[in-house]
Structure 1
Amino acid sequence: MTPRNWIDLKQDAESGIETIRAHFEGHAYDPHWHDSYLVGVTEQGVQQFNCRRQRHLSTPGRVFLLEPGEVHDGDAPAPEGFTYRTLYLDPQWLDRELRSLFEDTPEHSQVSFAATLADDPRLAIATANAFQSLHSHEMRIVRQTALDTLIASLTSHLRWRSQLSPDPRMPLVAHKTREYLHSHMDQDIGLDDLARVSGVDRFRLTRAFKAAFGLAPHAYLVQLRLAKARRLLAAGQSPVEVAAALGFADQSHLGRWFQRAYRMTPADYRKRCSNLPD
């Protein structure tokens, strides 16, 4: 982090929701994805990012909505940079809360966002209030009320889609490769392993996978490990333990990739989420 760039991260112990307020000038972060739903609001400046094969520009008051697994990056096109507030909502928590608050939620479906950017002042205010109540550790009843208001404000931007396995829109080659990466993420996987599993040569495999998921297989594997690293670090495991468990060469190898994706070190992330010393 440079002196002009900063991140303020906290985690709500009850809901597990992470809240991040950050400021970036120039390049913010490389393409990556999260296993959470992101609901955030741009506070200052122009926030530029690529997602869903489009370039988006979020300006003050606009809400950005990203689903788990959606690849995105971040840049500041203007010299003054941008500042934003984001809530990272656990998919199981969001599904449970929606089904408890509303009776007509469909079975065997998962939540998706209708659009990546929303011009909705009501949702922007609800996002900011939920962020503030969690980030400042307000009373439990205040936090819960703010989250209920956020969920109610989100409903017009949500869609329910059927859980399809495998998704028929994606080539079977890409699905087989992804399943193998998920089940062997801690191993030293080679392209020849993936080619053998998928039944096609390495070049067709890479093209199909990148077309389906927006990342080459090696980049997807790194992001898969980083998403798991966040969970393990937040649970209190040390960077050394996490690096060994997920197949990184060593702690510094994990640290380099973690900082490129999240702009903080694994030790700093662990400390902010778990309140444990480095």
Structure 2
Amino acid sequence: MGIRSSKETVKFLRFPDIGNLELLHATYKKQEFSPHYHKGHVIGVIEKGNLGFDYRGEKVVASAGEINIADPGEVHNGFSVSKEGWQYRMFYLKQGQLDRICNELCDKFVAMPFFRKGVIKDYAFAREIHTLHKDFENSNISLLEKESRFHTMISNFILRHARETVAPVSPGSERKIVMKVKEYIQSFYDSNISLDDLSRITGISRYYLLRVFAEETGLTPHAYLNFVRVSKARELMEKKVPIIDAAYATGFFDQSHLNRIFKKIYGITPGQYCNAF
């Protein structure tokens, strides 16, 4: 599906037969992505312009012909660095999808891979990603060919650019506080959660809570709540629940509130997302 508005174009596709893989082909001029993260890997290539984003404590820019990537759980935003905006093609992998492919490369990796940089200047491989994405979008190719080419692309990308993960650090007291806040928000996302509620369940001051949460996650509690709400709304819409009902069921004031937050995180509207099913 294609949507054109204020010189911005968005095409969103979903492939249920390939692990619910999602594709985005978009041109953005004024779009600004709020800080967020993804449960699965995100891999894409910039076609035109420049995409700026904050990633792992650095401001980075992905330019035309370069690969941009985000590991699962890594908070990032997204913005244009010039009035021309940017155009890109993105693969949104589901949680564990890349890891399962990596398991088949077990002689190369003893741990799950991660990618150190958010921008990779591998122009030859960027063209491979671009070609595959374009063929997925435009060509009437068989499921076997899609699966084979996607699997090959991800396998080669892992071998070229991945590093093994660092062993997780044992949770300290601050990490336990953050986990408690996350669990509370995940349980009561549909209610009117207050900062006092979070302070009460953790037993620390509101000021300290905000500082610890931001240091551990890169997000404010409110931004994390918005992310959980739109994720839950997505799940409902995938089950054919009407958008307005999904909005109310997940704690949004109304459908327009959901629309605004959804687009700030995913770059498309709930209606555009539903049209892909």
Q: CA RMSD in A?
A: 2.4
- Displacement of 1:49: 1.4
Distance in 2 of aligned mates of 1:116 and 1:207: 25
In structure 1, distance between residues paired with 2:193 and 2:270: 23
Task: Give a deviation string over 1:12-61, Cα, whole Å, max 9, x none.
Answer: 12121111011112443332322231101011111111121211111111
Please, what TM-score do these two structures have when normalized by structure 2? 0.87
Shift of 1:146: 1.6
Q: Is 1:179–2:183 an aligned residue pair?
A: yes
User: For the residues of structure 1 that align with 2:232 and 2:21, how far apart are their CA atoms?
Assistant: 16
Alignment partner of 1:147 out of 147, 150, 154: 150
CA displacement at 1:218 relative to structure 2 = 0.9
Query: Does 179-188 or 59-68 show the bigger shift?
Result: 179-188
* Correspondence list, 1:1-278, <5 A: 2-15=5-18, 16-103=20-107, 105-106=109-110, 110-136=112-138, 137-155=140-158, 156-161=160-165, 164=168, 167-168=171-172, 171-272=175-276, 274=277
Q: Are the aligned partners of 1:133 and 1:142 in contact in 2 as well (CA < 8 Å)?
A: no
Indicate the SS of the match to 2:6: coil
- Supply the distance in 2 between the matched residues of 1:49 and 1:180 (Cα, whole angstroms): 29
Using a 3 Å threshold, how does the CA distance of structure 1 residues 37 and 169 change in structure 2: closer, same or farther? farther
TM-score by length of 1: 0.87
Deviations 1:120-174 (A, max 9, x none): 1343133223312332352112211221221122213223436748645963322
Distance 2:236 2:40 in 1: 15
Alignment coverage as a number of residue pairs: 271
Q: In structure 2, list runs of 5 or more residues that go unmatched.
A: none
Amino acid at match of 1:116: G
Which structure 1 residue ranges, 4+ long, deviate > 3 Å from structure 2? 100-106, 162-171
* 1:105 CA drift (Å): 4.5
**Unpaired runs of 5+ in structure 1?**
none
Aligned counterparts of 1:122 and 1:140: Cα–Cα separation in 2:
25
229-238 vs 20-29, which moves further: 229-238
